[in-house]
A and B are shown apart, each in its own frame.
Chain A
Amino acid sequence: MKGILKKISQINFGLLSPENIRKMSVTKIVTPDTYDEDGYPIEAGLMDPRLGVIDPGLRCRSCGSKGGDCQGHFGNINLARPVIHVGFADTIHKILRSTCKKCGRILLTESEIIDYRDKIGSKLKNEESITTIIKDIYTLARRDKCPHCDEEQEEVKIDKPVSMVEGNYKLTASEVRERLEKIYEEDYILLGINPEVARPEWMVLTVLPVPPVTVRPSITLETGERSEDDLTHKLVDILRINQRLKENMEAGAPQLIVEDLWELLQYHVTTYFDNEASGVPPARHRSGRPLKTLAQRLKGKEGRFRSNLSGKRVNFSARTVISPDPNISINEVGVPEMIATEVTVPVYVTDWNLEEMKKYIQTGPKVHPGANYVIRPDERKIRVYDETKEAIIEKLEPGYIVERHLIDGDIVLFNRQPSLHRMSMMAHEVKVLPYKTFRLNLCVCPPYNADFDGDEMNMHVFQTEESRAEAKSLMRVQEHILSPRFGGPIIGGIHDHISGAYLLTREGSVFKEDEVFQMLKKSKVPYPKKRGGTWTGKEVFSLLLPKDLNMVYQAEICRKCDECLKQECKNDAYVVIEDGKLKTGAIDEKAYGAFSGKILDSIVKEYGTDKAREFLDSATKLAISGIMKRGFTTSTADEEIPREAKDRIEELLSKSESRVEQLIKAYRDDELEALPGRSLRETLEMKIMQVLGEARDKSGEIAESYFGMDNHAVIMALTGARGSMLNLTQIAACVGQQSVRGGRIERGYSRRTLPHFKEGELGAKASGFVHSSYKKGLDPLEFFFHAMGGREGLVDTAIRTAQSGYMQRRLVNALQDLSVQPDGTVRDNRGVIIQTHYGEDGIDPAKSDYGKVVDIDRMIDEMRIKSKGK
């Protein structure tokens, strides 16, 4: 057992005083050199052995612990002259401006002081931010005359980054420090300084702490050459100048030289803290690369906070390319054997699993269900080798931990970046498979937003029982079928699942009994009784539905006729399920597709996630075997339309184009009537766009009228499997207007898009109307305009991802501390109430029915059906 972990309850921040810096340091650093000729660190140098050890095996001279265990010890540099800390330059400037240069009091009247002190006091008591009050004080305390000693004040300006200029005289750091020392302790709080942890003069450094070597480890290159950390380089600079400054001062050098050196020291200390401070040229490495000093280490995406503290690199993880496997469950993930033998699960050895664990060790680290490490009760980790495994088995007893390979049924976390919502990380059950890719069920593509054009995904293996238990009950794929975003399914059938189910269940689809049983075998549905003869697809599909499911809805293929014929719908789009029997209607995207599956949705809500997973697994498999029975393919032949249709489209388009010419003529002749609030030109554009838009739609309609439900491309478009009618008509009939910036194309040459046109030409062709179809092929001009529109789309996407990513980061950061309290309120971590009742009704959107508590109408219908049955 490990010892009880201590809980950190708070972190206090404060400023280091010079005394503190000296007290915590183990040595003074004086020499700017690091190592002597023999490669040993020089005492009182930057690599002084007392500062800690990095090499394992050596012992620390200060604390006696071994390398790796010693976190290092600070040293210090005595600065020959005080230097201003860049980070506080602004604060120092504000303080100087707000305090009297003679008496050191804050430039506020007695009554103001009392007033503000009260305000700050009450804010501090409630642990609220005092920033705004301090800001007010700093603006108010800019007086020309001290209210306390009547001394005239001179304006103090800041010359970025650190120089303080009073009137025309530049204050030295020593003078600044003297001024700050004069300030009354009672006034500290008004200046935003907490007297318990900080004094203003500490913002001017007299001693510089030297971080331990563990903070700035040097690396030895292959050539044996040592390469020092950027911080060490900077510290060497500081030491050198400090040394020279000291020598010059002692030798009584002229004031000018001393001041120059002082300035140089200030520069080095400034860049040591922040190498991107405004107004200072950044210190550079010999190669010209700017040095990465303290502020740069912490800041930004690659800084300590965001990349080492908020997020970390982890062990027990794997990454590889993903590929589909329709035969595994949505809950599963196929893990390549190679990965399964590398990442491990720690298992506590008990009397009950002792033999099993021995077997794993016996198999060794190289063959699949084996083990890689054993952890002894004394916490020593021992690698399992084929040579040593016998000895390990010998000693194995309860209390040991065996790190065995991943095996089928283990729970792992599976993730695809960008992790935009919680469904981007779900728990899967391992299924160890041959080959080298992760395999996933196609239904989980939508939540991960994954496809198989080379996407890679990550897998993490849980290392504790608690994490496995939580993952299994909260993070499993089946628990995430419903999206919390809109309360509908986000996991569901896609592509072939949809067209397959449609082909299976559409009117007139019949199968021989042996075919039916083949399909059912594949989808792992319990067999019904054999009855001979043929089965309709609807009957087959009904076998998957829960026996008491009742529902009515309009399918995706619904054409939205003016008057709904309901059960008599000739498109078979009116779906009726009675007592788990599919009476009428075909199954398509609306039934169990991702984002819109109604049957799936009600199964999850009424029968639970286990049933829903079973349904989804078997329905997709049935659809796949259904589509295989019938055969399904598509090609450009699907978009073929007869000559007569082409002629009609041609005629329509030329009519539209002449209509555009008429509009242009009307515009030229000033006969066009402007729309209210628009100029003539804008009106013309809008009208042309409208005419051409209609032309494309109409040509599409013509093409559509030649497409029937026996056309595979049409089946895919109408059932919602893939593609849209627009895609098809663009291939078959006419591509339509290309747009850039939401309008017709008008950029390029002066007053024309291409040199092929006359200046000022406004016709359809000249502004990017693509009159050909994709199948016919675009002519060069059309191709060019099409590429313009296409390029805009690409740029758009690239910009959008960056923008929305940042918005998401801000949203998450702002809202992450909110949680529902036991009393039903929503509060942040300070306990401030944000909502008195979550969402005004306390309903979890993920458990709601598309945002509502229940579908009351449906509930009533079902209730009545039930009571009728009795």
Chain B
Amino acid sequence: MESGGFVDIDRVEKVIKRRRANFPEKLIYEIAEAAEKHELKAKELETLVGDIKKAYERARVEKGEAVGTVAAQSVGEPGTQMTMRTFHYAGVAELNVTLGLPRLIEIVDARKKISTPTMAIYFEEEYGTDEEFVRKIANRIGKIVLNDILKDFNVNYASMSMNIEIDEEKVHDKRLEYDDIIAKIEKAFKRVEINKNLLSFEPTISESKHAIRELRLLADKVRDLQISGVKNIGKVVISKESLEWVIHTEGSNLGAVLKMEGVNKTRTTTNDIHEVEKVLGIEAARNAIIHEAQSTMEEQGLTVDVRHIMLVADMMTADGKVKSIGRHGISGEKASVLARASFEETGKHLLRASIRGEIDHLTGIIENIIIGQPIPLGTGSVGVIMKPRK
């Protein structure tokens, strides 16, 4: 939003103060921006603020409004219209990302292990346009195994050995250092002979084991030796978005990537909410939930007001840790025994309540419905106090 450049907020704020209006920051900014765009005169601004004040008062939430239920319905109702198709091509055609209803369920469940973690890595201004630099980083992040840089691979069952040839062109292409690779190989395998880019391996053969099997296992091990990459990250895809180069990854490791040189720490994101929580804290996790849920909805062409999603996210993060919506999270930690019992695991909650000697104060909705009293929401949240005449 800041892209509009300098906007004269003070001028607007002064008028607002004079009008005794109490506007949220975002609205003030919008007014200032509009004032700039339309070149409002002082008098016009005055009347505009007055009109907006009226509109703002009219649009305020009413006290006692059941915002929770409305939010839940607004998020849940479009679920029926969503597609089930788990995979869809998002942003980059090369990567699959879970979308639609399964993704939304994943978000509200606050799953520890999401089905398709992915990152979008942006770079600082000076590096963003530097393709060479981005490629180098991409190869440091992406998982590369020895097999990816081989020219020749030979298993010799007669001599019980194995010869490989490293393709220098591929090494160069992937911006790797030859010495690093050799060092990694030497560290991983003891019985290896290195002759420039020709390597030969021998299995450790003991009498008890089957020799050919050992050799084959070794072959697999050699091929799958990881020579580059960040933990938990698989494939990476580099793409150009408008002017800058961006890396999209399969798998996610926000902590490690943010530590890398040149990576833009404010724009780089992951879709793994627990990782955001771990690395950046609970407020960031809340924003991540909002962002993920909102973009899942938008991708399906459904509009849901942010405020609803915000409330869901705030409820999930109110305790300082990300809690799921459902029996293991919010619903399982409710204060009321009846509320918990009427949701799921009825017997468990009732039995536990009996030995704990729990007391249900009947302050929630479902408890009051169960015992047949008016619910403390909306018109039920107000009472009448009579002032006795003196």
Q: How far is the CB of B320 from chain A (nearest CB, A)?
A: 12
Is B72 positioned at the interface, with any CB of A under 8 Å from its CB?
Answer: yes
Q: With a CB–CB cut-off of 8 A, which chain A residues contact B63?
A: 820-822, 824
Q: With a CB–CB cut-off of 8 A, which chain B residues contact A196?
A: 357
Q: With a CB–CB cut-off of 8 A, which chain A residues contact B108?
A: 807, 810-811
Residue of A at shortest CB range from B40? A860
Is B172 positioned at the interface, with any CB of A under 8 Å from its CB?
Answer: no
Residue of B at shortest CB range from A128? B335
Q: With a CB–CB cut-off of 8 A, which chain B residues contact A628?
A: none
Is B34 positioned at the interface, with any CB of A under 8 Å from its CB?
Answer: yes
Q: With a CB–CB cut-off of 8 A, which chain B residues contact A810?
A: 108, 325-326, 331
A848 to B27, CA, bound (A): 13
Residue of B at shortest CB range from A418? B80
Is B90 positioned at the interface, with any CB of A under 8 Å from its CB?
Answer: no
Are A847 and B59 also in contact (CB < 8 A) when A804-B76, A832-B318 are? yes
Q: How far is the CB of B220 from chain A (nearest CB, A)?
A: 20
Is A168 positioned at the interface, with any CB of B under 8 Å from its CB?
Answer: no
Q: How far is the CB of B103 from chain A (nearest CB, A)?
A: 11
Is A777 positioned at the interface, with any CB of B under 8 Å from its CB?
Answer: no
Q: For chain B residues 66-97, which have a beta carbon within 8 Å of chain A?
A: 66-80, 82-85, 87-88, 93-95
Task: Mark the stretch among B190-198, B252-260, B272-280, B344-352 that contacts chain A.
Answer: B344-352
Q: Which of A676, A821, A838 contacts B307 (CB 8 A)?
A: A838
Is A750 positioned at the interface, with any CB of B under 8 Å from its CB?
Answer: no
Q: Which of A9, A299, A303, A819 contacts B66 (CB 8 A)?
A: A819
Q: With a CB–CB cut-off of 8 A, which chain B residues contact A818?
A: 66-69, 71, 311, 315
A813 to B325, CA, bound (A): 9
Is B207 positioned at the interface, with any CB of A under 8 Å from its CB?
Answer: no
Is A422 positioned at the interface, with any CB of B under 8 Å from its CB?
Answer: yes
A804 to B83, CA, bound (A): 11
Whether A863 contacts B68 by the Cβ 8 Å rule is: no
Q: Which of A198, A487, A675 contacts B94 (CB 8 A)?
A: A675
Whether B354 contacts A13 by the Cβ 8 Å rule is: yes
Whether A830 contacts B27 by the Cβ 8 Å rule is: no
Q: With a CB–CB cut-off of 8 A, which chain A residues contact B365?
A: 816-817, 829
Whether B87 contacts A820 by the Cβ 8 Å rule is: no
Whether A807 contacts B51 by the Cβ 8 Å rule is: no
Q: With a CB–CB cut-off of 8 A, which chain B residues contact A382?
A: none
Is A256 positioned at the interface, with any CB of B under 8 Å from its CB?
Answer: no
Task: Mark the stretch among B153-161, B177-185, B370-378 that contacts chain A.
Answer: B370-378
Are A854 and B56 also in contact (CB < 8 A) when A8-B373, A130-B356, A808-B79 are? yes
Residue of B at shortest CB range from A129? B333
Is A193 positioned at the interface, with any CB of B under 8 Å from its CB?
Answer: yes
Are A486 and B304 also in contact (CB < 8 A) when A11-B359, A87-B347 are? yes
A822 to B64, CA, bound (A): 7
Whether A819 contacts B359 by the Cβ 8 Å rule is: no
Is A12 positioned at the interface, with any CB of B under 8 Å from its CB?
Answer: yes
Whether A203 contacts B355 by the Cβ 8 Å rule is: yes
Residue of B at shortest CB range from A311? B369
A35 to B323, CA, bound (A): 55
Q: Which of B68, B237, B353 contacts A819 (CB 8 A)?
A: B68
Q: For chain A residues 530-563, which have a beta carbon within 8 Å of chain B?
A: none
Is A484 positioned at the interface, with any CB of B under 8 Å from its CB?
Answer: yes
Is B341 positioned at the interface, with any CB of A under 8 Å from its CB?
Answer: yes
Q: For chain B residues 256-276, which have a beta carbon within 8 Å of chain A?
A: none
Whether B60 contacts A310 by the Cβ 8 Å rule is: no
Q: With a CB–CB cut-off of 8 A, which chain B residues contact A817?
A: 68, 334, 339, 363-365
A731 to B315, CA, bound (A): 48
Q: How far is the CB of A12 from chain B (nearest CB, A)?
A: 5
Residue of A at shortest CB range from B64? A819
Q: How far is the CB of B227 from chain A (nearest CB, A)?
A: 18
A87 to B345, CA, bound (A): 12
Are A807 and B104 also in contact (CB < 8 A) when A193-B355, A484-B70 are? yes
Are A485 and B308 also in contact (CB < 8 A) when A194-B357, A803-B101, A844-B61 are? yes
Q: With a CB–CB cut-off of 8 A, which chain B residues contact A799?
A: 84
Is A68 positioned at the interface, with any CB of B under 8 Å from its CB?
Answer: no
A678 to B47, CA, bound (A): 60
A818 to B310, CA, bound (A): 13
Residue of B at shortest CB range from A274? B347
Is B58 positioned at the interface, with any CB of A under 8 Å from its CB?
Answer: yes
Is B24 positioned at the interface, with any CB of A under 8 Å from its CB?
Answer: yes
Is B314 positioned at the interface, with any CB of A under 8 Å from its CB?
Answer: yes
Q: How far is the CB of A804 from chain B (nearest CB, A)?
A: 3
Q: Which of A14, A192, A826, A854 contacts B55 (CB 8 A)?
A: A854
Count of A interface residues, CB-CB < 8 Å: 105
Whether A820 contacts B61 by the Cβ 8 Å rule is: yes
Whether B84 contacts A796 by the Cβ 8 Å rule is: yes
Is A354 positioned at the interface, with any CB of B under 8 Å from its CB?
Answer: no
Whether B304 contacts A835 by the Cβ 8 Å rule is: no
A850 to B307, CA, bound (A): 12
Q: With a CB–CB cut-off of 8 A, which chain A residues contact B326?
A: 810, 814
Whether B363 contacts A11 by the Cβ 8 Å rule is: no
Residue of B at shortest CB range from A485? B74
Q: With a CB–CB cut-off of 8 A, which chain B residues contact A812?
A: 69, 72-73, 76
A821 to B378, CA, bound (A): 10
Is A309 positioned at the interface, with any CB of B under 8 Å from its CB?
Answer: yes
Q: How far is the CB of A270 from chain B (nearest CB, A)?
A: 13
Q: With a CB–CB cut-off of 8 A, which chain A residues contact B37?
A: 857
Is A88 positioned at the interface, with any CB of B under 8 Å from its CB?
Answer: yes
Q: For chain A residues 817-862, which have a beta carbon within 8 Å of chain B?
A: 817-822, 824, 826, 828-830, 832-835, 837-854, 856-857, 859-860
Residue of A at shortest CB range from B306? A851
Whether B315 contacts A815 by the Cβ 8 Å rule is: yes
Q: For chain B residues 94-130, which have a beta carbon within 8 Å of chain A?
A: 94-95, 101-102, 104-105, 108
Residue of A at shortest CB range from B55? A854
Are A811 and B325 also in contact (CB < 8 A) when A8-B371, A485-B303 are? yes
| Proximity bits, B287-310, A CB within 8 Å = 1, else 0 | 000000000000000011111101
Is B235 positioned at the interface, with any CB of A under 8 Å from its CB?
Answer: yes
Q: For chain A residues 631-686, which have a beta carbon within 8 Å of chain B?
A: 675-678, 686
Whether A844 contacts B357 by the Cβ 8 Å rule is: no
A834 to B104, CA, bound (A): 21
Is A800 positioned at the interface, with any CB of B under 8 Å from its CB?
Answer: yes
Q: With a CB–CB cut-off of 8 A, which chain A residues contact B80?
A: 420, 800-801, 804-805
A822 to B193, CA, bound (A): 78
Is A295 positioned at the interface, with any CB of B under 8 Å from its CB?
Answer: yes
Are A844 and B358 also in contact (CB < 8 A) when A815-B311, A816-B72 are? no
Q: How far is the CB of A708 from chain B (nearest CB, A)?
A: 28
| Proximity bits, A786-812, B CB within 8 Å = 1, else 0 | 000000000010011101110110111
Q: Which of B30, B356, B364 contacts A829 (CB 8 A)?
A: B364
Q: Which of B93, B351, B381 contacts A87 (CB 8 A)?
A: B351
Whether A305 contacts B341 by the Cβ 8 Å rule is: yes
A10 to B238, CA, bound (A): 61
Q: How far is the CB of A133 from chain B (nearest CB, A)?
A: 12
Is A225 positioned at the interface, with any CB of B under 8 Å from its CB?
Answer: no
Is B146 positioned at the interface, with any CB of A under 8 Å from its CB?
Answer: no
Q: Which of B71, B75, B343, B355 contacts A194 (CB 8 A)?
A: B355
17 contacts between A and B (CB under 8 A): A10-B362, A12-B359, A131-B352, A194-B355, A305-B346, A305-B370, A421-B77, A804-B82, A804-B101, A808-B72, A812-B73, A816-B66, A820-B67, A829-B335, A839-B311, A851-B306, A863-B47
* A-B complex: 6 closest residue pairs judged by Cβ atoms: A818-B68, A194-B357, A808-B76, A804-B79, A839-B307, A815-B68
Q: Please report A residues at the B interface, Cβ cutoff 8 Å.
A: 7-15, 87-88, 91, 127, 129-131, 192-194, 196-198, 203, 274, 295, 298-300, 303, 305-306, 309-310, 420-422, 470, 474, 484-488, 675-678, 686, 742, 796, 799-801, 803-805, 807-808, 810-822, 824, 826, 828-830, 832-835, 837-854, 856-857, 859-860, 863-864, 867
- Known contacts A13-B356, A295-B347; can you find 18 more A-B pairs with CB under 8 A? A11-B360, A12-B358, A14-B357, A194-B355, A194-B356, A198-B357, A298-B346, A305-B342, A309-B370, A420-B73, A675-B94, A800-B84, A826-B314, A839-B311, A844-B62, A848-B305, A851-B305, A859-B51
